[in-house]
Homo-oligomer: A and B are copies of this chain.
Amino acid sequence: MVTRFKPNKYKPLKINELKKFIISKRNLKKLFKNTSNLEVKEVGDGNLNLVFFIENKHNSICLKQPLPYLRVLKDWPLTLKRSYYEYEYFNTHKKYVKNHFPKIYDYDEVLRSITMEKLSPHIIMRHGLIKGIKYNNFAESISTYLAKTLFYTSDLYLTAASKKNLISKFISNTELCKITEDLIFTDPYAVNKNNRWTKPYLNKMKKKIEKDEKLKIIISHLKLKFMKNTDALLHGDLHTGSIMVTTKDTKVIDPEFAFYGPMGFDTGALIANLLMSFFSQTGHEKKFGERKKYKKWLLEIIKTIWIKFEKKFLKLWETENYGDAYPKVLFKKNSKKMILEKKIYMQNLFEETISYAGAKIIRRIYGFAHNIDFEWIENTKVRANCEYKASSLAIEMLKNTNSFKSINDLIKAAKINENMKVKL
Query: Which residues of chain A from 149 to 191 have any CB-CB distance to chain B below 8 Å in the complex?
Result: 155, 160-161, 163-165, 167-168, 171-172, 174-175, 177-178, 181, 186, 189-190
B172 touches A171 (CB 8 A): no
**Docked pose: A216 CA to B227 CA in angstroms:** 28
0/1 string, A216-240, CB within 8 A of B gives 1: 1101110110011111000000000
The residue in chain B whose Cβ has the minimal distance to the Cβ of A175 is B161
The residue in chain B whose Cβ has the minimal distance to the Cβ of A329 is B190
The residue in chain B whose Cβ has the minimal distance to the Cβ of A174 is B161
**Docked pose: A161 CA to B216 CA in angstroms:** 22
Among A36-44, A303-311, A332-340, A354-362, the stretch in contact with B: A332-340
B160 touches A216 (CB 8 A): no
**Docked pose: A377 CA to B190 CA in angstroms:** 62
Contact of A228 among B213, B220, B230, B338 (CB under 8 A): B230
Measured between beta carbons, the chain B residues less than 8 angstroms from A216 are: 330-331, 337
A249 within 8 A of B: no
A214 within 8 A of B: yes
Number of interface residues of A (CB under 8 A): 45
Contact of A217 among B167, B223, B341 (CB under 8 A): B341
Among A63-71, A89-97, A114-122, A319-327, the stretch in contact with B: A319-327
Q: A160-B177, A337-B213 are in contact. Are A189 and B228 (CB under 8 A)?
A: no
Measured between beta carbons, the chain B residues less than 8 angstroms from A220 are: 325-327, 330, 341
Query: Which residues of chain A from 287 to 319 have any CB-CB distance to chain B below 8 Å in the complex?
Result: none
A327 touches B228 (CB 8 A): no
The residue in A161, A165, A189, A338 that gathers the most chain B C-beta atoms within 10 A of its C-beta is A161
Query: What is the distance, in angstroms, from A195's C-beta to the closest C-beta of chain B?
Result: 12
Contact of A161 among B178, B214, B231 (CB under 8 A): B178
B167 touches A171 (CB 8 A): yes
The residue in chain B whose Cβ has the minimal distance to the Cβ of A170 is B164
Measured between beta carbons, the chain B residues less than 8 angstroms from A171 are: 164, 167-168, 171
B190 touches A330 (CB 8 A): yes
Contact of A163 among B163, B227, B230, B330 (CB under 8 A): B227
The residue in chain B whose Cβ has the minimal distance to the Cβ of A325 is B224
The residue in chain B whose Cβ has the minimal distance to the Cβ of A230 is B228
A-B contact pairs, 11 of them (CB 8 A): A155-B228, A164-B171, A171-B171, A186-B327, A214-B337, A216-B337, A220-B341, A223-B325, A224-B325, A228-B231, A230-B230
